[in-house]
């Protein structure tokens, strides 16, 4: 993904999982931001795809693709199972 000529990467947090960029430090930062915001679903965009990438923006309404949809359904299934126990 490109924004204003800068290569960007996206990490989407779904519960305690991440979908998107493979860099573990970006996944950690995205999970930390979602936790601080007390949200279970958050798309976080970074300028770059390595550990030193800068935060660009965050979105509560991420674009759904097959991987993200699968992660959301898994998360909702886990939440339902936890409520039953």
**C-alpha dist (Å) from residue 82 to 15, 16, 71, 75, 78:** 13, 14, 17, 11, 6
Higher-confidence residue: 69 or 5? 69
2-84 fold: D-amino Acid Aminotransferase; Chain A, domain 1 (3.30.470)
pLDDT(70) > 90 = yes
Put simply, whether the predicted model's pTM sits higher than 0.75 gets the answer: yes
CA angle, 57 as apex, 53 and 59 as ends, to 5°?
Answer: 130
8 Å CB contact between 46 and 25: no
């Amino acid at each position: 993904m490109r924004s204003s000529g800068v290569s960007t990467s996206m990490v989407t947090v779904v519960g305690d999982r991440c979908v998107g960029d493979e860099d573990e430090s970006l996944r950690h930062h995205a999970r930390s931001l979602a936790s601080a915001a007390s949200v279970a679903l958050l798309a976080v965009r970074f300028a770059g795809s390595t550990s030193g990438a800068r935060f660009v923006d965050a979105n509560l309404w991420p674009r759904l693709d097959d991987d993200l949809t699968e992660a959301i359904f898994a998360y909702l299934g886990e939440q339902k199972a936890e409520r039953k126990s």
